[in-house]
Structure 1
Amino acid sequence: MKRTLDKIDEKIIEELTRNSRLAHNDIALKVNLSRNAVRLRIERLERDGHIRGYTIVKGLPASEHPPIRALVFVYRQDRMRGSEVVRSVAAMPEVVSCDVMSGDLDIVLTIEAQSPDRINKVWSDISSLPGVLNTMTSFVLSMAK
C-alpha cells in the first residue's frame, strides 16, 4: 500500500536529490529523526516507488579541464609601503604565485581558475584593493615548459 508523503519524507527526498551519497546520520540531523528511522523511511520510499534509483552524473577528470592561467601585473601607489597589497593578494586561493619585482614591474601574480569569469572576479577584487594604482592582465595561451 502506497502512503502519501509527509513533510519529513519530502525533506529526505530533497536532501538525497542534492546529494544521494549523504549518510543516514547526516539526513537524520537535518530532519530531526534517528538514523534508523531515516533508514526505514528511505527503504519505504524506495519500495513505494518514490525513489526509483540513484544516478551517477559522469564528469570529466580534472586533467581534461586544466585550469585557466593568467598573469596579473599589479602596480602599487607606493612600492615601499604597499605591503598590505602583497598580503591581500597572497591570501587569495586562486593566486598560485606572488612575485615582488625590481625594475619597472611591481608585482607579478599567477592566477589559476576554472573559468574566465572567475579570473575576472579575482582581477576585480585585486584592482579594487586600497593601494593598487593599476593592473594589466594577460591570459596564458600555452605553456612551453
Structure 2
Amino acid sequence: MTQKLDTIDQKILSILQKDAMCSVDTISEKVALSRNACWRRIKAMEANGVIRARVALLDASKIGCPLTALVLIRTDHHSDAWRREFAIAVAALPEITTAQRMTGDLDYVLTVRLADVAAYDHFYKRLTSRISVSDISASFVMEDIKDTTALPL
C-alpha cells in the first residue's frame, strides 16, 4: 500500500536519504518544523514502514570488494520447493547484495560484490553447488555511472 506523503515528509525523507545520521535538530531547521514535530513525523514514518532502516553506506573498494557482477540465471525449476531452496542459497551467500525474480527471458538477476574474478569463480562454485540452474552467466561492471540508494520522491 502506498503511503501518502506531504511535502514536509518528502523533504524529511530527502534529507535522510542523503544522510541518515543527520540530527533531528538539523532536519527540523531545514524543513521549518519544531524539533518535536519533526521527530514525531520521523517516528511515524518508521512505524508505518516508510523508513525501513537507517544504514551506513560503505565504500566497496576500501573494504575489499570493488568488483560488481550481475549474475543472470535461468532455471527449468519453478516449484515452491526450488524457490525456497534458492532463497536459502541466496541468504547464505553474503556476496549477493540484491536478488530479483524477473519477468521475460531471465528468471533471476543477482548483484554480487567481490574482490576479483577469482573470487567470482569461487562464488560461482558455491552457488551452483547449492542450487540447480539451466543457465548462469555474469557480466562485470566496468564503471558505475550512477549508483544510489535514494528513491525518487
Structure possessing the higher radius of gyration over alpha carbons: 1
Deviation at 1:66, TM superposition (A): 5.7
Report the Cα distance in structure 1 between the residues aligned to 2:102 and 2:144, rounded to whole angstroms.
22
The number of residues matched between the two structures is 84
Q: Distance in 2 between matches of 1:117 and 1:140?
A: 15
Superposed CA deviations along residues 54-75 of structure 1, whole A, max 9, x for unmatched, are: xxxxxxx817x66111011112
Normalised TM-score (structure 1)? 0.51
Residue number in structure 1 paired with 2:52 = none
Q: Please give the per-residue CA displacement for 1:66-103, whole angstroms capped at 9, x wherever unaligned.
A: 61110111122212432111321232010011111111
Equivalent residue for 2:128? 127
* Alpha carbons of structure 1 residues 135 and 117: separation in structure 2 relative to 1, 3 Å: same
Cα shift at 1:140: 0.6
- How many percent identity over aligned positions? 29
Q: 5+ residue gaps in structure 2?
A: 1-60, 147-153
What CA distance in whole angstroms lies between the structure 1 residues aligned with 2:92 and 2:139? 21
- If asked which structure has higher relative contact order (CA below 8 Å, sep 6+), I would say 2
Q: Write out aligned runs for 1:1-145 (5 A).
A: 62=62, 67-81=66-80, 82-83=82-83, 84-145=85-146
Shift of 1:128: 2.9
For 1:35, the equivalent position in structure 2 comes to: none
Distance 1:130 1:70 in 2: 19
SS in 2 for 1:85: helix
- Unaligned stretches of 5+ in structure 1? 1-60
Give the secondary-structure state (helix, strand or coil) at the position aligned to 2:112: strand
- Residue type matched to 1:106 in 2? D
Runs of 4+ with >2 A deviation: 79-82, 127-131
Report the TM-score when normalising by structure 2.
0.49
